Amino acid sequence: MNIPILTKIFKARDKPSDYYSGSNYTFLFGGTTSGKIVNEFTAMQTTAVYSCVRILSEALASLPLNVYRYSQGGKERVYDHPLYHILHDEPNSEMTSFVFRETLMSHLLIWGNAYAQIIRDGAGRVVALYPLLPNKMEVGRDKNGEIFYIYSRNSDENPNFKDYGTVILRKQDVLHIPGLGFDGLVGYSPIAMAKNAVGMTLACEEYGASFFANGANPGGVLEHPGVLKDPKKVRDSWNEVYRGTNNAHKVAVLEEGMKYQQIGIPPEEAQFLETRKFQINEIARLYRIPPHMVGDLEKSSFSNIEQQSLEFVKYTLDPWVIRWEQALQRSLLLPREKTEYFIKLNVDGLLRGDYQSRMNGYSIARQNGWLSANDIREMEDMNPIPDEEGGNLYLINGNMTKLKDAGAFANTANAPDTQIQQKGSDA
């Protein structure tokens, strides 16, 4: 029934020439087939959504974030660049780098977009970053085709805005990290797109809570052989004594030949627990989170849980990392800096195996000459060995040689004997 409306909206967005009204996609939130109202706030009341958002937000916020310069030998970390302190330590005077990234990542996972106001100095260099709420942001395009941002301020979340109302921001004053979308400019909210799955999760939780609130017993009827003068009084009297978890398992006393007839379906017969478990996996599937990370260890064991954790980094976290890196470089680096510097989130720490596996890998790398002792110590967060003590030496085993040189040592060693034999034969 809603297909024509959605088709009209999507067609209006196919030509991004004028205005992106409602870029927070409020029209996709709301009622669901389960009867529950789903929005960004009710969704976070489910443990599955909250866990997935928290896992991804904290994982990305905990990664080392640094500014690098391209060098002839590869790359080098730049500590004196103005962006280094902002990204690595304090984006603004009120937040740490972890809190800032955690906040923006949660916006991205709930609303599908993350915004931050960029404060620049007179030379155009970034001096601070302040988060902006996605549900108050709209994206517009002027007559020259330039994108601008419209922020509706009705609260005090940003200290740089003095007045309430509409604030117009230029493209260069906004860090925008879009999620998956159909136009490449504005992302869609995962919660809005999967609101029926989230709504069913809410309905399951409400059913479970109601089940226990009513004494952990399904509904039923009281049968009386005669005619009751005041049925409401009998019902209220029954509920007062037997309803609620505190009154569960009490012995019921029935008078005047009354009988209790159960009419509800027991939860085990309705597979209530299986339904709740499936809905948790459904939300985990939405965010591509391995089930063991949200508490479902049924398919996990000591032999595969490490591999599942590595898959989480490669297939779940890494795409978000690339999305963040490219958005930061596009918005924060000056045009003349983009060919010289780049911004990187380091996931190497999450890809490391257990201690024995790391040591075996380091040993192979050290013996084959592509890691020095200091390279290994840096990855293990240890202080380097002084250069005069050989900390930066690259070593290889002496029993390896090039294929074309195979047998050269033997020929050289036998050369004198061959000459002696030749002289003896001449004599």
Q: Do both 164 and 303 map to the same domain?
A: yes
**pLDDT tens digits for 273-310?**
666 777 788 888 899 998 888 877 777 666 677 777 88
What are the C-alpha distances in Å from 125 to residues 84, 91, 96, 171, 256?
12, 13, 20, 15, 86
**pLDDT tens digits for 395-416?**
887 776 676 776 665 565 555 5
Mean of the pLDDT values across residues 21-42?
65
Computed over every residue of the chain, the mean pLDDT equals 78
Q: Do both 159 and 234 map to the same domain?
A: no
From 235, 263, 291, the end of a domain falls on 263
For residues 227 and 294, the model is more confident at 294
Q: Do both 248 and 279 map to the same domain?
A: no
Mean of the pLDDT values across residues 15-31?
49
What's the pTM value of the predicted model, to 2 decimals? Answer: 0.72
Count of residues making up the chain: 427
Q: Do both 360 and 343 map to the same domain?
A: no
> What is the chain's Cα-based Rg?
33
For residues 247 and 373, the model is more confident at 373
Mean of the pLDDT values across residues 308-315?
84
User: Which residue type occupies 364?
Assistant: I
Q: How far is CA 388 from the centre of its chain?
A: 44
Q: In DSSP terms, which residues pair with 388 in a beta bridge?
A: none
Structure tokens at 256: 């005047």
C-alpha 5/C-alpha 209 separation (Å) is 36
Reported in sequence order, the residue ranges of 179-300 that DSSP labels E, i.e. its strands, are 220-223, 259-262
C-alpha 261/C-alpha 273 separation (Å) is 25
Mean of the pLDDT values across residues 182-211?
81
> In this predicted structure, which of 21-35, 161-175, 231-245, 265-279 has the lowest mean pLDDT?
21-35
From 230, 246, 263, the end of a domain falls on 263
Q: Do both 209 and 133 map to the same domain?
A: yes
Share of the chain above pLDDT 70, in %: 67
Q: Do both 75 and 134 map to the same domain?
A: yes
Q: Do both 233 and 339 map to the same domain?
A: no
**pLDDT tens digits for 134-163?**
989 998 888 888 899 999 888 888 888 888
Total domains in the chain come to 3
pLDDT higher than threshold 50 for residue 186: yes
The answer to whether the CB of 177 falls within 8 A of the CB of 104 is: yes
Residue 240 domain boundaries: 219-263
pLDDT of residue 99: 96
Structure tokens at 248: 């569960």
C-alpha 372/C-alpha 368 separation (Å) is 10
Q: Which residue has the tokens 């911004």?
A: 343
> In this predicted structure, which of 98-102, 270-274, 367-371 has the lowest mean pLDDT?
270-274
C-alpha 203/C-alpha 190 separation (Å) is 19
Q: Do both 237 and 338 map to the same domain?
A: no
The SS3 assignment for 231 reads helix
C-alpha 408/C-alpha 402 separation (Å) is 10
pLDDT higher than threshold 60 for residue 17: no
Structure tokens at 311: 């898959």
Rounded to 5°, angle at Cα 250 from 249 and 255: 130
Spell out the alpha helix ranges (H) of 135-228.
190-193, 195-213
Q: Do both 33 and 162 map to the same domain?
A: yes
Burial 54-67 (b: 16+ CB within 10 A, else e): bbbbebbbebebbb
C-alpha 136/C-alpha 100 separation (Å) is 18
Structure tokens at 216: 């952990």
Q: Which residue has the tokens 């049924």?
A: 298
The answer to whether the CB of 196 falls within 8 A of the CB of 267 is: no
Q: Do both 148 and 49 map to the same domain?
A: yes
Q: Do both 134 and 60 map to the same domain?
A: yes
Q: Do both 299 and 170 map to the same domain?
A: yes
Mean of the pLDDT values across residues 361-379?
86
From 351, 380, 414, the end of a domain falls on 351
